Chains A and B, each alone.
Chain A
């Protein structure tokens, strides 16, 4: 009898837990349909993979050798306000008429110590980085 009661109690608790879990999930808003086509994704360009790896390594000399001053200025603007880049993650790339846009998310700390994430997008043409946003 007491075993049956314990099993029933556990079942009721689990049912309540399931109901609570479902109630905790906020209703996810539906993505609005895009009226335009989406381009196919492409692989991460090797040139950007090598360059972004220098950011969490704090390799300022390597970046100075790899990118010209205009691109470095654009990259500085892209990672602003991060002063300490801890991780850079490739999120996706797409291509149109020879131009590849390769996107990354950089995670780190601002001067205030606040943890932040910023987006960096490289433009690659003929295997060379020609722009940074």
Chain B
């Protein structure tokens, strides 16, 4: 009981320090990320690109904002229709930037189509809160 009484003020000091550290970390980290000229490649963006090239509609749907059942059915139908028509050759991250919850990530994709032609084209993804809201 005596030991507990002795430790209580130090526990209070520790908790105050922890709260201060948490606020500094959360606010400072967010500001640093926002002011950084470049952002790191996002795991969600990379996963989206892999799912897109591997034609996995289930993963793509999971990485996009919730849509209606018909839109999702169209994504499945589209994936079935194009299955096996392209062979991905390379996937290159060209960089990105974040501004608050919004982030943009650009990729260069190289694929070989079913008729053997090579195609090399870019794709920019816009993510809000880890979900892909725009792809062009």
Contacts and interface: CB of A to CB of B under 8 A. Distances in A.
Nearest to A122: B122
Interface string A88-115: 0101111011010101010100000001
B14 to A, nearest CB: 4
A24 B25 contact: yes
A2 interface: no
Interface residues of B, number: 56
Interface in B64-119: 88-100, 102-106, 108, 110, 118
A38 B93 contact: yes
A77 B96 CA distance: 19
Name the prevailing secondary structure of the A interface residues.
mixed
Q: How large is the interface on A (under 10, 10 to 19, 20 to 34, 35 or more residues)?
A: 35 or more
Contacts of B53: 36
A117 B102 contact: yes
Given A14-B17, A20-B24, 16 more contacts: A9-B13, A15-B17, A17-B17, A17-B18, A25-B25, A29-B43, A38-B90, A77-B136, A91-B95, A92-B95, A96-B90, A101-B108, A105-B97, A116-B99, A118-B104, A121-B108
